[in-house]
Homo-oligomer: A and B are copies of this chain.
C-alpha cells in the first residue's frame, strides 16, 4: 500500500534554506582548501544547488504557479550535488550529502497548493 507523504510549503522552505546554507558553506570550504582541484565539481554543484534553492524559496513564499516544476528542478540539483559530494570524505561534503538528500525528498513530496 502506498503511503502518501504530504509536505507543506513551510517544511519545504525550511529544507531549502538548510540546503542552501550547507551547500554555500561547502562551496566556501572547497574554495579555501588546498585540494580545490579534487573538489572542483563539488564546488560547482554546491553553487548550482544553492542558487536553485534560493529560487524555490522565493517561489514558495510568493505562491508561484510554478512551484511544482521548480521543486522538481531543485530535487534534481540536490541529487546531482549529493552524488558528487559522496565521492569525498570531507566533513562539509558529507554534510552536503545528507542535507541534499533530505531536501530532494522533501521537494518531491511538497504539497502543491498553488
On A, residues with C-beta under 8 Å from B are: 13, 17, 20-21, 24-25, 27-28, 31-32, 34, 36-37, 40, 43-45, 47-48, 50-52, 54-55, 57-58, 61-66, 69-70, 72-73, 76-77, 80
**Residues in chain B near residue A62, CB distance under 8 A:** 24-25, 27-28, 47, 50
Interface pairs (17), CB distance under 8 Å = A20-B58, A20-B61, A21-B61, A24-B62, A31-B43, A48-B64, A50-B58, A50-B62, A51-B58, A54-B54, A55-B55, A66-B73, A66-B76, A66-B80, A69-B72, A69-B73, A73-B73
A32 CA to B25 CA, complexed, in Å? 21
